[in-house]
Structure 1
Amino acid sequence: MVSLSAVQSSNSLIPSTLPRGLVAVFVGGTSGIGESTLKKFAKLSITPRIYIIGRSQEAGERIEAECRLLNPEGVYIFIQADVSLIRVVDELCEEIKAKETHLNILFLSAGLPILDRRETPEHLHLLASLNYYSRLRFITNLLPLLQRASALRRVVTVAGGGLEGPLDPSDFPALHVPLRAIRGHLTTLITLGLEAVATKAPEVSFVHDYPGTVKTPLMSRTEGFLGVFLRALVYLLGRWMCVPLEESGDRHLYLATSARYPPRKGESSRDFAVPLGSGVEVARGTTGEAASGVYSVGWDCEGPSPAAEKLLAGLREAGMVDEIWRHTEKEFKRITE
């Protein structure tokens, strides 16, 4: 486990070790973990440019104003959008690419309080769209900007890192995967999807994390029996089982900035990731090797487990990385053409 004190110590070095003018995009940054993380980034960065993408205009305007109070020298740009739609993602990315020459951090945490089979107008499973397809579309669209950054180049996607489970290759979109197995299925889909992208961009690092149980507005809006159960569980055991939102924000900023999660190649002192503290080692990636460029970590910034490594290795050997990417590109082509 990476201690909270080590996390906070690393984050405190951001003003002195990262360059001025970092550009970050926070998708799902209008509440919960995304909001907490971006405010910490805004406060500690020197003249940052931050794009805040979310559904709520009211929340977006509030966060813009709060960020200006935290750091008046930064630039904060809110864009209201429904990012469950691939065509909307494409429009957003074109808008960002028209304004920016590079991107340092892409932080993806958009979610909805549902676990049913609802579909988007583009005929994707809504839960899968928000957790996988939309996020991978943001990543692939903005990858050229990330690759052109002279400093930090990092993607963080908040979902189920370290909780990879059996994958149904006949149903990648999870339209028929049992609800009890859907988290493991989608978590594996995300991790192997990131591995596919990482082969095209070895100079970018990718972190897929599970934040633990964090009391956020998303939990209060979760529908049905699951919502009732989660809220009751948090009420009774929250003191022991929940990660405080402030701590979660600290940990996610660490995931986004620490040299502990380097890309597979190209990372050096000139890349300006926050340097490792005394006794801290580079993280082990999803392949089981240190500094492999793709990281699947739990709430404690550690992972993956030996069981998850073994599962991913088997799927990798079976050619699932390529198969997942063929499916993903086919879906993007179907939707956009």
Structure 2
Amino acid sequence: MSLLTSIASSNNKISASFPHGLVAVFVGGTSGVGEYTVKAFAKYSTNSRVYIVGRSQESADRIIQECEQVSSGSTFQFIQADVSALRGVDGVCDEIKNKETTINLLFLSQGSMGFNKKSPDGLPLAASLATHSRTRFIANLLPLIQQADTLRRVVSVGAATVEGPVDMSNFFGEGFPLRKWRDQLSSIQTLVLKEFSRLAPTVSFIHSLPGIVRGGINRDAEGFSLKLIILISRYLFEPFLQVLPDECGERHMFLATSAFFKPAQDSMESAGVLVPGGEGTVIGTDGETGSGAYSMDHHLRPLPARAVEMVAQLRSNGTQTKIWEFISEDFKRLTGTGLPETAKASPGL
């Protein structure tokens, strides 16, 4: 059974698989992929507690009203924050930790195309939202995810399956052509998730590529050339290639809950929603099936062979460890707290 044909049967079993509900955190949940997946979560889950993190109170109010109309027994709470600032991330995490002891799903889709903008911490905005902000959320909330009795999952929406070379002398890819910047950022996200998987083998980590999806990420786009590319894409390519909002939400809900994407160390029964046809057989970013860290494209296909080789090379030559150390040092400099030392000291293999 292909993953695409499994979506409907898997999503329709979510409420029965988790009758007591789930605790889910959606960062960047007020637009784009995050919004579409929140709405799918409301449609399929019951008795859950959902935290939506974003900037727009107006958008959050609209989304929560729509979710409450279709949800069964679930509650939705908005946390307004600027998650481009690391201390803003810490504040959100502290608020959640004061209310919850476990988390089942951490869904990260915050992003920006403001390539010439800086974050409040002085970091390049577009890249640091995908690297530092997301890594900080995972590091802060991972203990609560590990404590969950059932589903334990992190989904990071980015540019999965196009992993490319990483230039550690230009970590944020400043001045890179857009494609080179994208491919490097893809590798960084995939390798960070793989290191977290090594640190927390009972949690599954998924890096996803949503395809062409309408969302709020374009609002920070700067410069005539970039705006022209967006305009051409919108009118020439999107009508034929666009992933529609409902379909995007359905696919990401599947990624967020299906047992196909099992942790490295977990029984299938607690890994997610079980459907007949080869659960846990998805190839991970290390080329092994069911290895706990996955990179999936918008057709739900895992890493192609070229990307598997690239990721293996970046792990074997120490780049994974260097990435972890780079982010950890920035965390220490900006907040006083780095990444877990046990992971930092690993050889990245």
1:154 deviation in Å? 0.4
C-alpha distance in structure 2 between counterparts of 1:144 and 1:103, whole Å: 9
- Residues 89, 38 of structure 1: alpha-carbon distance in 2 compared, 3 angstrom cutoff: same
Partner of 2:89: 89
C-alpha distance in structure 2 between counterparts of 1:217 and 1:314, whole Å: 34
- Residues 160, 242 of structure 1: alpha-carbon distance in 2 compared, 3 angstrom cutoff: same
SS in 2 for 1:87: helix
C-alpha distance in structure 1 between counterparts of 2:38 and 2:78, whole Å: 12
Partner of 1:315: 314
Partner of 1:132: 131
1:231 deviation in Å? 2.7
Partner of 1:38: 38
1:3 deviation in Å? 5.7
Counterpart contact for 2:24–2:51, Cα < 8 Å = yes
Does 2:332 align with 1:333? yes
Does 2:265 align with 1:262? no
Partner of 1:186: 185
Does 2:89 align with 1:118? no
Aligned residue type for 1:84: S
SS in 1 for 2:202: coil
- Residues 72, 7 of structure 1: alpha-carbon distance in 2 compared, 3 angstrom cutoff: closer
Partner of 2:228: 228
Unaligned runs of 5+ in 2: 337-349
Matching of residues 128-207 of structure 1 within 5 Å: 128-207=127-206
1:326 deviation in Å? 1.0
Aligned residue type for 1:227: K
Q: Which moved more, 1:36-45 or 1:168-177?
A: 168-177
TM-score, normalisation: structure 1: 0.94
1:277 deviation in Å? 3.0
RMSD of aligned residue pairs (Cα, Å): 1.8
- Residues 330, 189 of structure 1: alpha-carbon distance in 2 compared, 3 angstrom cutoff: same
Counterpart contact for 2:166–2:184, Cα < 8 Å = yes
Q: C-alpha deviations, 1:269-307, integer Å up to 9, x for none?
A: 1x1611133356621000000011100110011110111
SS in 1 for 2:41: helix
C-alpha distance in structure 2 between counterparts of 1:133 and 1:42, whole Å: 29
Unaligned runs of 5+ in 1: none
C-alpha distance in structure 2 between counterparts of 1:331 and 1:94, whole Å: 20
1:2 deviation in Å? 4.3
Aligned residue type for 2:287: G
C-alpha distance in structure 1 between counterparts of 2:34 and 2:48, whole Å: 16
SS in 1 for 2:53: strand
Counterpart contact for 1:2–1:302, Cα < 8 Å = no
Counterpart contact for 1:203–1:265, Cα < 8 Å = yes
SS in 1 for 2:73: coil
Partner of 2:300: 301
Aligned residue type for 2:292: G
Aligned residue type for 1:336: T
Partner of 2:342: none
Aligned residue type for 1:330: E
Does 2:99 align with 1:107? no
C-alpha distance in structure 2 between counterparts of 1:108 and 1:304, whole Å: 20
Q: Which moved more, 1:70-79 or 1:181-190?
A: 70-79
- Residues 221, 119 of structure 1: alpha-carbon distance in 2 compared, 3 angstrom cutoff: closer
Greater RCO (Cα-Cα under 8 Å, separation 6 or more) = 1
1:63 deviation in Å? 1.4
- Residues 219, 196 of structure 1: alpha-carbon distance in 2 compared, 3 angstrom cutoff: same
C-alpha distance in structure 2 between counterparts of 1:134 and 1:82, whole Å: 10
- Residues 174, 226 of structure 1: alpha-carbon distance in 2 compared, 3 angstrom cutoff: same
Counterpart contact for 1:164–1:185, Cα < 8 Å = yes
SS in 1 for 2:25: strand
Counterpart contact for 1:19–1:151, Cα < 8 Å = no
C-alpha distance in structure 2 between counterparts of 1:189 and 1:227, whole Å: 26
Counterpart contact for 2:261–2:271, Cα < 8 Å = no
- Give the length in aligned residue pairs: 335
